[in-house]
Amino acid sequence: MSIRLSTEDEARAEIKSRIDSRQWWVFVVGPGFTHYLELVEDRFYAGERGRYFDIALLPGGLAVAMADKRFLSPSALAAITAESGGLTLPAEAFEDRDIIFPCNPTPEGLALALSFHEWIMGRARIDVEPDRPRAGRKR
């Protein structure tokens, strides 16, 4: 299932409200790791549970999935993340988290995390290609 939002501000508000509720896992992935979202959806949110799994596609190939925590425990999350080639962490590492960046830390992954943080806080637009010139951007 995907949510339909017409503006970037609407997307930010919806995602932020899910984070603030602490009832949703919010997965942030960049290009090349969307298979992880498909795996989570197929395994834990198939059928009727699909109502509790939403994906927002943002500029630059960034995908943000929101999944109701009732259907995916921290231990299942740890297992599926490791299985998919992402982080290998114990279930306890996920218990107090809401935002998940499942890929292993790389310079690109860390840049993605920082970009998402700045964007969700309303301090920046998504810019996953920082070296590409943009109109009105000072160098």
Is 116 domain-assigned? yes
pLDDT confidence tier of residue 58, bands split at 50, 70 and 90: confident
Task: Evaluate if residue 86 carries a pLDDT over 60.
Answer: yes
Q: Which of 69-73, 80-84, 119-123 has the highest mean pLDDT?
A: 69-73
Is 76 domain-assigned? yes
Is 111 domain-assigned? yes
Task: Evaluate if residue 130 carries a pLDDT over 50.
Answer: no
Question: Looking at residue 5, what is its pLDDT?
Answer: 59
Of 97, 98, 85, residue with least CA distance to 34: 85
Q: Which residues contact residue 5 at a Cβ distance below 8 angstroms, ignoring those fewer than 6 apart?
A: 11, 14, 56
Mean of all residue pLDDT scores within the chain: 80
26 bridge partner residues: 66, 99
Lookup: tokens for 29: 């992935």
pTM, entire model? 0.79
Is 80 domain-assigned? yes
For the chain, the domain total comes to 1
Full domain range(s) for residue 27: 8-120
Is 78 domain-assigned? yes
Is 75 domain-assigned? yes
Polymer length in residues for the chain: 139
Distance CA 119, CA 69 (A): 23
Q: Which residues contact residue 121 at a Cβ distance below 8 angstroms, ignoring those fewer than 6 apart?
A: none
